[in-house]
Amino acid sequence: MTILLGVALAGAGAPATAKDAPLTEIHQRLRSATDTLAAPAVLTLDACGGGFDAGLIQTLVRLRVPATVFATRRWLDRNHVALQQLRQHPELFEIENHGAAHVPAVVGRRIYGMTSPADVDGIAREIDQGAQAVAQASGRAPQWYRGAGALYDAQGLQTISRLGYRVAGFSINGDDGATASASTVARRLERAAPGDIVILHMNKPGSGTADGLSRTLPGLLARGLRFEKLSQAGEVVPVPDAPRRTAAKP
């Protein structure tokens, strides 16, 4: 599988380290995503910190829908039972790297209330330690990286690439970090089509995510949409439109 990043950093010519430089959100989908129902879609489930949305995982197991989990070391350390459940279904779930302590792959900024590392070495440590935790928990070395907040600066993207990982973007933001209502989640998932990569969260039980997913999945499956794990889904490419660029809050 190869990957092309949909990176178009704004402010070309401006220093990438500027505190007000826009950050990049990576939007991707599967290449085989033309109008054929033969192409799969991908569910990615972030486990940033906090708990375990058991209802969400039960729905996926019941419907035999695979997903790729992006877990932090912090989440893996605190959710042993959840990890056991994921590992009981290796045909459905794989675990990829969401970092160690859930700090963004950005130098010296605050994003969504999170403080990012002061330098590139801090970003590299976050990635490395997350990868070690995933390998230890799953028995499989991760291939993909998704930074906390799914926003990146140039140094973050370069560091991820230098360490040999691919940045995991998405084409549908399903739940706004598990803050969206079940009806909003359902409405967004209704749009899922072959080739889409969906981001959801599995670390906030009681959010609208599990309910929205369980309302929508049977209909998507009845329409003929099938799901694959990211590692088995085929080539990932940038979406045609430019990635959304977000100016970080001070």
98 neighbors 114 (Cβ within 8 angstroms):
no
Nearer to Zn ion, 46 or 228 (CB): 46
Residues from 101 through 160 that contact Zn ion (CB under 5 A): 148
Stretch that binds Zn ion, among 12-20, 38-46, 122-130, 163-171 (CB under 5 A): 38-46
Closer CB to Zn ion, 48 or 237, in the complex: 48
Q: Which is nearer to Zn ion, 40 or 170 (CB)?
A: 170
Answer yes or no whether residue 189 interacts with Zn ion by CB under 5 A: no
Which 163-182 residues touch Zn ion, going by CB under 5 A? none
User: Taking the complex as a whole, how short is the minimal distance between the CB of residue 63 and Zn ion, in angstroms?
Assistant: 24
**Contacting range for Zn ion; rule: CB under 5 A; set: 27-35, 43-51, 182-190, 209-217:** 43-51
Give min distance, CB of 181 to Zn ion, in A.
20
Which of 133/148 has CB closer to Zn ion? Answer: 148
Number of chain residues interacting with Zn ion (CB under 5 A):
3
Task: Label residue 129 exposed, middle or buried (CB < 10 Å: 0-12, 13-18, 19+).
Answer: middle
Q: What is the DSSP string of the chain?
A: --B------SSTTS-TT-TTPPEE--BEEETT-SS-TTS-BEEEEEE-SS---HHHHHHHHHHT--EEEEE-HHHHHH-HHHHHHHHT-TTTEEEEE--SS---BSSS-EETTEEPPSSHHHHHHHHHHHHHHHHHHHSS---EE--GGG-B-HHHHHHHHHTT-EE--BSEE-STTTTS-HHHHHHHHHT--TT-EEEEESS-TTSSHHHHHHHHHHHHHHTT--B--GGGS--EEE-SSPPPEEPPP-
Query: Could you tell me the smallest distance in angstroms from the CB atom of residue 213 to Zn ion?
Result: 17
Residue nearest Zn ion (C-beta atom): 48
Residue 173's nearest CA partner among 59, 35, 46, 53 is 46
Is 48 or 233 the residue whose CB approaches Zn ion more closely?
48
> Binding string, 44-63, against Zn ion, x = CB under 5 A?
--x-x---------------
Q: For Zn ion, which is the closer residue by CB, 40 or 147?
A: 147
Nearest to Zn ion of 213, 237 (CB atom)? 213
What is the contact surface with Zn ion in residues (CB under 5 A)? 46, 48, 148
